[in-house]
Amino acid sequence: MRFRTRFLGGCLAAASTFLLAAPAAGTARMDPDQMLIGVYKDLGNRHLRDALAKADALVTAYPTFQLGHLIRGDLLLMQTQTINKLGAVEGAAPDALADLRQEAMARMRALTERPDPTRVPRAVLQLRPDQKRVLVADARRSRLYVYENRQGELRFQQDFYISQGKLGINKAREGDQKTPLGVYYITSRLAGHRLPDFYGVGALPLSYPNEWDKLQGREGSGIWLHGTPSRNYSRPPLSSDGCVVLTNPDLREVYAGVEINKTPVVIAGDAEFVPRQQVEAERAQAQAMVENWRAALEQQDFEQLRRHYASRFRSEQADTLDDWLARQQKGIQHLNKPALALRELSLFRYPGEEMIVATFTMDAVSGGKRSSIRKRQYWGREAGHWKIVSESGWTA
């Protein structure tokens, strides 16, 4: 029997670079990706019988994993003929085969491109101390990365295969079958028994559209992280109406570790992972921007304060910069030499745009009285300088 290395469209060549780093069998619960790696490894070594045994184990462990069944079918065919593509079975629906091939490539690509543990997502500059983790969805890799917040430093925890909108990313309107790009928060938990089977074991609604989405005229609702129907282990990479879809076992893990209105979810088209030193430098720059704004407001230096705002500034409350600054001036001038302090600061680089999102609580102490407000600022570039392009506030 002759085995062609073109099998799975070149997956084997990519897999070989990952095999040395793959977890050893028995060190942890083997997930489908790790089991697939074992099948590919045996195929690469021309150990067809061992590959078939591992494929049998895969479909036994995950009986609704359609990709596993397809690969097992190919392995059975290989006993009598040469196979040079995934899904060689005759009579299969072309669209279904195309979906499974895309899933195979997405799973392999994500594993071979797993982020270096010495690097961190550039989008996450700073979490506030009580934010225990952050989720980073990477549309290009069809992957959700989970990072823990360990005393201000991000540590990679785990990652999961995901599906996204049928028509990709950059959601703009209701029903466009696209997944939004941005920084969002999990707003609630929806138990699976209260939902149709389509959503699997549960759902985690996201805060789409956020303030920036609304100002850009982006519409729609009901963007969730959710599971899969009971008849399917997973879905193709491009298959949802805009939601981020995980397998049911993976959603259970994510579901257990998130906190409502605290856990941020960054959805990026192509997540960038950079050295920690780069994030630390960008974090310091962002912290200085926000601190300079705070000092100007505390000193009631409104000319200096104006310099922190972009000429294109917009807000949900006021359409012009003059209106917004007049509102801020009125709110601060009735206080007698207030002391302003910022806490619970989080900082993110906004996916797909040259923009930084700062969210914090501002405490104002004046005459023995204390008041607090929660603020969110969107900073963008204008004439080479970082300036606030939008701002909102609500009672802390």
Asked whether residue 1 is domain-assigned, the answer is no
Are both 53 and 87 inside the same structural domain? yes
CATH classification of the domain holding 242: 2.40.440.10
Given 214, 249, 271, the domain boundary residue is 271
Cβ atoms of residues 354 and 130 within 8 Å: no
Output b/e per residue, 55-84; b: 16+ Cβ within 10 A. Answer: bebbbeebebbbbbbbbbbbbeebeeeebe
Query: Sheet of 385-395: strands edge to edge?
Result: 124-126, 339-349, 355-366, 369-382, 385-395, 309-314
What is the pTM assigned to this prediction? Answer: 0.89
Provide the residue count of the chain: 396
Given 112, 144, 163, the domain boundary residue is 112
pLDDT in tens, 254-270: 999 999 999 999 999 99
Asked whether residue 2 is domain-assigned, the answer is no
Q: How far is CA 361 from CA 83, 147, 265, 377, in A?
A: 61, 23, 20, 11
Are both 261 and 142 inside the same structural domain? yes
Are both 213 and 244 inside the same structural domain? yes
Are both 206 and 284 inside the same structural domain? no
Asked whether residue 352 is domain-assigned, the answer is yes
Asked whether residue 220 is domain-assigned, the answer is yes
Specify the pLDDT at position 96.
85
Neighbours of 12 (CB within 10 A): 18
48-61 helix and 32-44 helix, angle to the nearest 10 degrees: 170
Are both 49 and 161 inside the same structural domain? no
Asked whether residue 334 is domain-assigned, the answer is yes
Asked whether residue 232 is domain-assigned, the answer is yes
CA distance 313 to 327: 14
What is the domain extent for residue 13? 7-112
Neighbours of 390 (CB within 10 A): 24
Are both 126 and 80 inside the same structural domain? no
pLDDT in tens, 333-346: 777 788 999 999 99
Specify the pLDDT at position 198.
96
CA distance 98 to 294: 54
Are both 363 and 390 inside the same structural domain? yes
Specify the pLDDT at position 89.
67
CA distance 275 to 338: 40
Specify the pLDDT at position 16.
37
Are both 241 and 131 inside the same structural domain? yes
Are both 77 and 203 inside the same structural domain? no
Are both 19 and 139 inside the same structural domain? no
Which among 106, 105, 173 has a CA at the least distance from the CA of 139? Answer: 106
Asked whether residue 247 is domain-assigned, the answer is yes
Are both 138 and 258 inside the same structural domain? yes
Given 255, 271, 287, the domain boundary residue is 271
Are both 250 and 318 inside the same structural domain? no
Beta strand 164-165 pairing with 238-240? parallel
Total domain count, the chain: 3
Specify the pLDDT at position 79.
80
Asked whether residue 223 is domain-assigned, the answer is yes
pLDDT by residue for the chain (396 residues), tens only, comes to: 343 434 444 444 444 333 333 333 333 457 888 888 888 888 888 888 999 999 999 999 999 999 999 889 888 888 877 776 777 767 667 888 888 989 988 988 877 788 898 899 999 999 999 999 999 999 999 999 999 999 999 999 999 999 999 999 999 999 999 999 999 999 999 999 999 999 999 999 999 999 999 999 999 999 999 999 999 999 999 999 999 999 999 999 999 999 999 999 999 999 999 999 999 999 999 999 999 999 999 999 999 999 999 999 998 876 789 988 988 888 887 777 889 999 999 999 999 999 999 999 999 998 888 899 999 999 999 999 999 999 998 886
Which among 287, 293, 295, 266 has a CA at the least distance from the CA of 353? Answer: 266
